[in-house]
Structure 1
Amino acid sequence: MSITKLNPWNWFKKESEHERTLPIKQTEQGVRGYASPIDRFHADFDRMVDSMFSDFGMPSPRQLFNKVDPGSGKTPIKPNVDVYGTDKEYVIEAELPGIEEKDLSIELKDDVLILSAEMKHEEKTEEKGYYRVERSYGSFRRVLNVPEDADKDNITARLNKGILKVTMPRTKAVESNSRKIAIES
């Protein structure tokens, strides 16, 4: 097995492609209906940097730091995801505080694993002459490439105390090409 399989940018290389194909398209114009030349310059520059990083198979700085898109007024919600592998399995752990199992969706499409959730919460209080309603909602989507040697038929997922753990057994054992090197004095 090549060590590049475990590099984070290889696991997430299709995530930006899937974001571009989402049915909702955000514009640079924002709420007022127009974008200033400075906003357009920043958006163009961000696209250029994203393109440069993606050409080398690396995540863009905006993905790493969850930068607010100019004019959109929204910060993309991307839960932290840890990916690691052992000789027997690959493990993906995602931090999902406040997400319940009923709100979570895990899909496998060809060689892509899609983690997504949508959460809605509403709290009403009616007391002594006042009425209060608090609503919160949000959603996220993470797209991860599944390695060729992962057993796609035996993927398991478990949500425990806000941590999602997805386990993918490997179909074949990792062959180690290591040898001891003697130190000359």
Structure 2
Amino acid sequence: MSNLTRWNPVNEFEDLMNRYNRMFGLTRSGGEREGKDLFSRSDWAPAVDIKETPEAFTIEAELPGMSKEDVKVTVHEGVLSIQGERKSEDETKDKKHHRIERFYGSFLRRFTLPENVDENSVKANFKDGMLTLTLQKAEPKEPKAIEVDVQ
């Protein structure tokens, strides 16, 4: 007698989405199973591009549907942090959601800055849902020669 396994397409879809989210670093901390609340969770990470020129680094973060008041950028001890919250729209009685794929809630992205960045030079610009940070490179520090008297 052979064993029959009932095919459940929902479980297969959830497993696929869990693998996708793990691959892109979107899993919850603690490794808990996301399952049915996959689309209603509040943790997400905006897409970021990092570019380098001879003079500066540029970080571009996609934050559609957000305003500059929803975003906070800080630099502390060589770590650049971008954090904020995207609020979901209010429910109305005449509207029914059929599918929600955008992530809502708070986010935090951290980047360790290279040593050749001037932390005081960070400039931020927010336009059309795109946060652009420009970090000027610092002048390389000249090695200091220290003379030691030999006695």
Band the TM-score falls in, shorter-chain normalisation: 0.5 to 0.7
Structure 1 contact 99–117 (Cα < 8 Å) conserved: no
Q: Which structure has greater helix proportion?
A: 1
Q: Please state if 1:164 is matched with 2:124.
A: no
Q: Distance in 2 between matches of 1:119 and 1:67?
A: 18
1:83 is displaced (CA, Å) by 0.9
- Contact 1:122/1:133 (8 A) holds in 2: no
**2:118 maps to which residue?**
151
Distance of aligned partners of 1:169 and 1:105 in 2 relative to their CA distance in 1, 3 Å threshold: same
Q: Which amino acid aligns with 1:104?
A: V
Unaligned runs of 5+ in 2: 1-18, 97-102, 141-151
**C-alpha RMSD of the superposition:** 3.1
Give the Cα separation in 2 of the matches to 1:105 and 1:151: 19
For the residues of structure 2 that align with 1:62 and 1:121, how far apart are their CA atoms? 24
- Distance change in 2, residues 1:138/1:166 (3 Å): same
Runs of 4+ in 1 over 6 A off after TM superposition: none
The alignment status of 1:71 with 2:38, answered yes or no, reads no
Aligned counterparts of 1:63 and 1:111: Cα–Cα separation in 2: 27
Structure 1: which 5+ runs fail to align? 1-45, 47-60, 126-130, 174-185
Report if aligned partners of 1:84, 1:90 keep a CA contact under 8 Å in 2.
yes
CA contact 2:125–2:133 (8 Å) conserved in 1: yes
> What whole-Å deviation, never above 9, does each CA across 1:116-140 have from its counterpart, x for those lacking one?
1113244365xxxxx4699x94111
Letter paired with 1:172: E
Residue 64 (structure 1) shift: 2.2
Give the TM-score of the pair, scaled to structure 2.
0.60
Aligned-residue sequence identity (percent) comes to: 29
SS of the residue corresponding to residue 106 of structure 1 reads strand
Write the distance in 2 (CA, Å) between the matches of 1:142 and 1:166.
13
Q: CA deviation at 1:66?
A: 2.8
* Deviations, residues 94-134 of structure 1 (Å, cap 9, x unaligned): 11111111110111111001101113244365xxxxx4699
1:113 aligns with 2:80: yes
